[in-house]
Amino acid sequence: MQEKGFDRSRLEFFPIGSRQNKLEGAEVMLGLDSPAPDPGAAAGVIERTAERIVEARQRNAPVVICHGAHLIRNGLGPVLSEMVRQGWLQHIATNGAGSIHDWEFAFLGSTCEDVKHYVSRGQFGMWEETGAHLGLALLAGGLAGAGYGESVGRMIVEEGIEIPSRRELRAIVEEGLDGGAGPAARAAAAADLVETMERTGLESGRLKIPHPHSSCSIQAACCREGARFSVHPGIGQDIIYPHPMLSGGAVGRVSMTDFLLFADTISELEGGVYLSVGSSVMSPMIFEKSISMARNLARSGKASPEDFHIVVNDLAESTWDWSKGEPPKDNPAYYVRFCKSFSRMGGELAYAGVDNRVFLLNLYKCLVSLS
């Protein structure tokens, strides 16, 4: 069945190697020995956060960081990857752009195109490898039952993707017609992959995709260490959507898996820590749904997470003490929406109004000193 609306098959795509990037990994990546800038007034919040993370580890409670794409663009991939390896982080969540920047650094060693320059030429987001490889990773990952982040992480770690034959996929589809919910869900994923193969001319077999810079990828680190990495995208908001290899069914499938994994982690947040870094919309939105789901289970007897620590890190100024709850409407802090949303979730809330490099480098060094 032909796609409705815009015909993506008419688009022209370009090798990502021909793109001029504003960020080179060799220049922006922060090493573990990078000096931590003076955190100023945020020092107390950072120290307390480190203490709460240590306490969470002692209680076997999760520590979650949910971040926007700028954290990746600021070169913090190696820092977060090391925090995963040392067991300080159990779940990392980001948006679609965060996943894409992380992958482009691993694949190409650079990222971040000049939006104005390429939009004016009809080339913005029209990069063959980014759209094709990520689109295919989500199709293959969905067939395997993986989420968005795990699908991309596997592609990086395994340096490629295995594409089943059309015969194998059609057998999965036929088996799923009478096999119940599980086989039917896998059949739907197989059908999406078959449809994409026929629409794009993709052949079966192993597609080798080298990732020479995988050491800087958080998605790869989580895949290797068994930590959760969830991606929470918005349809049409990222540069992969123009590419014909990107399947709406696959995106929905792996994104829903990741949301349920995120909600599962939040349901176990008792005694844990939630870090929201540079995400003013996505982070509070998925958190509030997840904590409500966890508390819904409490109606049938499951313990509800009530004792947890939320730390919001952003650049917006806020003089309000968020540990006191929500400010009155005549206070400008009332309109710092992301803090206001988190203040309604329960637990303990703190705010660190500093650059995310200052926050996370100092937090990492505090954790090292406490371990």
In sequence order, the 6+-apart residues with CB closer than 8 A to the CB of 369 are none
Per-residue pLDDT at 181: 63
Could you tell me the pTM of the whole model?
0.95
Q: How confident is the model at residue 335 (pLDDT cuts 50, 70, 90)?
A: confident
Q: pLDDT tens, 145-191? A: 999 999 999 999 999 999 999 999 999 998 887 776 678 899 999 99
Q: pLDDT tens, 231-250? A: 999 999 999 999 999 999 99
As a whole number, mean pLDDT of residues 102-121 equals 97
Quick count: other Cβ atoms within 10 Å of Cβ 119? 12
What whole-number distance in Å separates Cα of residue 217 and Cα of residue 223? 10
Sign of the torsion angle spanned by Cα atoms 257, 72, 239, 338: positive
Residue 278 bridge partners (DSSP): none
Residue 351 bridge partners (DSSP): 312
Distances (CA, A) of 311 to 36, 41, 51, 277, 365: 19, 15, 12, 8, 17
Q: pLDDT tens, 69-111? A: 999 999 999 999 999 999 999 999 999 999 999 999 999 999 9
Where does the chain have alpha helices with state H? 25-28, 43-58, 69-73, 77-85, 96-108, 115-119, 128-143, 148-158, 166-176, 181-200, 218-225, 248-267, 282-298, 337-343, 356-370
As given in the structure block, the two tokens for residue 212 are: 């020479």
Nearest to 244 by CA among 210, 198, 211: 198
